[in-house]
Structure 1
Amino acid sequence: MQHKTIERLQQTAFRVREHIIRMSTDGGCFTGASLSATDVIVYLYSEFLNVTQDTLKDPNRDYLFLSKGHDVPALYGTFVELGWLSADRLQNHLSTSDHLYWHPNVNIPGIEFHSGSLGHLPSVALGVALDCKLRGTNNKVVCVLGDGELNEGSVWEAVLVANAYQLDNLLFLVDRNFFQANMPTEELIPLEPLTDKFAAFGAAVRRVDGHDFTALDEALSTFPFEVGKLNVLIADTRRGKGLPSIEARADRWFCNFTHDEVEELLRELHGEANATLESETLVVR
């Protein structure tokens, strides 16, 4: 991946994080979880999925299902950066005058299916992937899941069915931030060794740093990972990525900040971005 492409993706992800922070007031949103998934969602729409504003209803488009529905602020922010959604419209978040809510709503262009009930969309995604296979089309179908969501038995049923029907056009991407709601996953119901578990169910599995665009690109450039197998990409991420003051905190899954706190967090985001840029510059030198 070219350096200028990485820079473009980083800048887009930064702006998406700004949108998420601004939606974290007047009722709040799932801030920490959305920040962990931002880079993955930005990469998918910018580099992997064959879908544009003009092809949102095209039967040959690629599909993304956000099963981890509470991460929808990251999706809204990405849609703004793609030009699919007006930035001003984000101010309607949680307003009764609009459809921008805590979970995806199909009344928003680009949202493929309502979600919020964890463990539900893997089955929806595999149904779409199977339909594409039966029609002989080349659509890619992506389902983004949370790691805590993997406690739902329906997820593993979907993995079994996807492999039974050899749906190698389907990708389950797990946002592995090691938290579910207000506690670490490994303290409630341990998930590791996660790669081995998916492989035992018949999937072709890759694991990468979910904040590293180069790593994401290298992994997904080999899609499908193996012919005739469900693809699973485990993206190791950090809850609250970009805001050190709330990173990896169990109490920062859902946040409802004051307007002053939002402004302070935006300053923190800018400071963290500048520090990262300076560090990368030193490495280059």
Structure 2
Amino acid sequence: MRAINAEVIRNLEAKARVLRGHILRMLTQAGSGHTGGSLSAADIVACLYFWEMNIDPQNPRDPNRDRFVLSKGHAAPVLYAALAEKGFFPQEMLSTLRKLGSPLQGHPDMKKLPGVEASTGSLGQGISWAVGMALGGKLDNRDYRVYALLGDGELQEGMVWEAFMAAAHYKLDNLVAIIDHNGLQIDGRISEVMSPEPVGDKLNAFGWEVISIDGHNIEEILKALEEARKVKGKPTAIVAETVKGKGVSFMENRVEWHGVAPKEEELKRALSELGLA
């Protein structure tokens, strides 16, 4: 097991800032897309792609690779940013987000872009993909791991809980579901639209190991992922408390930034706050 130290944490914090910069630039160029939930997941995705997962951009279909499923598919910009930074495709392609003919559409398409494991967008379906992948790994006696990132508003979907139940039934200890628990969805606060709370207690009741963390604390994220590797006989859920629009003061905890792209002046201000101007 690799050591988690101050240098590792600094490097991943820097990588998360770079991802946020990519997200903001590509959304501004596209003129549309989902800003808030992409920014809230950047620290988690940075830890997965640049520390945790066994993946090789030179061999994206390696049968022994770890799998990542972006169940909250509308947050595609954070996935595209990570894939480009990792070397799955040239970073110049990021400027084509949501353009006609681009493989970088508003939701991930596994048939068009290397490194995308599942075509997601209709909320609730991604975690079922992940359960199937994890079960397939068990049946094939492979030791890869599967990571699924869900939104907390997504937990309002009934099929999510069917997938959670199946994962526990099949003792999928190679599966980690990470809940981006930022408290907001397109129509407002999740507590007011249709509350899924208490998320951790419910997952625990469904037979999952539950770890609660600050989803912007790199050390906590890494330690939770390390702890999840030690869990045997059941899947692990990491409930990550996050801030929608994290990293940009005028976007943080603002529901209106769920599905709005920054304009040029807002981009300049945001990049300056991130130290990327």
Normalised by the length of structure 1, the TM-score is 0.92
Distance 1:83 1:40, change over 3 A: same
Identity of aligned residues (%): 38
Structure 1 residue aligned with 2:13: 10
- 1:237 deviation in Å? 0.6
SS at match of 2:113: coil
Q: Which amino acid aligns with 2:155?
A: L
Structure 2 residue aligned with 1:118: 123
Which stretch of the first structure deviates more once superposed, 82-91 or 197-206?
82-91
| CA deviation vs aligned residue, 1:56-111 (integer Å, no higher than 9, x gap) | 10111110010111111111111122122212111111111311111111111100
Q: Which amino acid aligns with 2:16?
A: A
Q: 2:56 aligns with which of 52, 57, 62?
A: 52
- Contact 1:177-1:239 within 8 A present in 2 as well: yes
| CA deviation vs aligned residue, 1:208-253 (integer Å, no higher than 9, x gap) | 0111111011111122453211111111110000001110011110
SS at match of 1:46: helix
Q: State the number of aligned residues.
A: 272
- Contact 1:32-1:240 within 8 A present in 2 as well: yes
Structure 1 residue aligned with 2:227: 222
- What are the ranges of 5 or more consecutive residues in structure 1 without an aligned counterpart? 274-285
| CA deviation vs aligned residue, 1:42-66 (integer Å, no higher than 9, x gap) | 1011111111112310111110010
Which stretch of the first structure deviates more once superposed, 174-183 or 254-263?
254-263
Q: Which amino acid aligns with 1:24?
A: L
Structure 1 residue aligned with 2:165: 160
SS at match of 2:180: strand
Distance 2:74 2:88 in 1: 20
- Contact 1:182-1:253 within 8 A present in 2 as well: no
Structure 2 residue aligned with 1:276: none
Distance 1:240 1:150 in 2: 20
Matched, 1:24 2:27: yes
Q: Which amino acid aligns with 1:30?
A: H
Alignment RMSD, CA only? Answer: 1.5
Distance 1:84 1:44 in 2: 15
Matched, 1:176 2:181: yes
SS at match of 2:27: coil
- Contact 2:213-2:220 within 8 A present in 1 as well: yes
- Contact 2:187-2:193 within 8 A present in 1 as well: no
Structure 2 residue aligned with 1:39: 43
- Contact 1:225-1:231 within 8 A present in 2 as well: no
Matched, 1:193 2:198: yes
Distance 2:169 2:12 in 1: 36
- 1:256 deviation in Å? 2.6
Q: Which amino acid aligns with 1:261?
A: E
Moved over 3 A (4+): none
SS at match of 1:94: coil
- What are the ranges of 5 or more consecutive residues in structure 2 without an aligned counterpart? none
Distance 1:136 1:124 in 2: 18
Structure 1 residue aligned with 2:98: 94
SS at match of 2:114: coil
- Contact 1:32-1:254 within 8 A present in 2 as well: yes
| CA deviation vs aligned residue, 1:113-138 (integer Å, no higher than 9, x gap) | 11000000111111111111011111
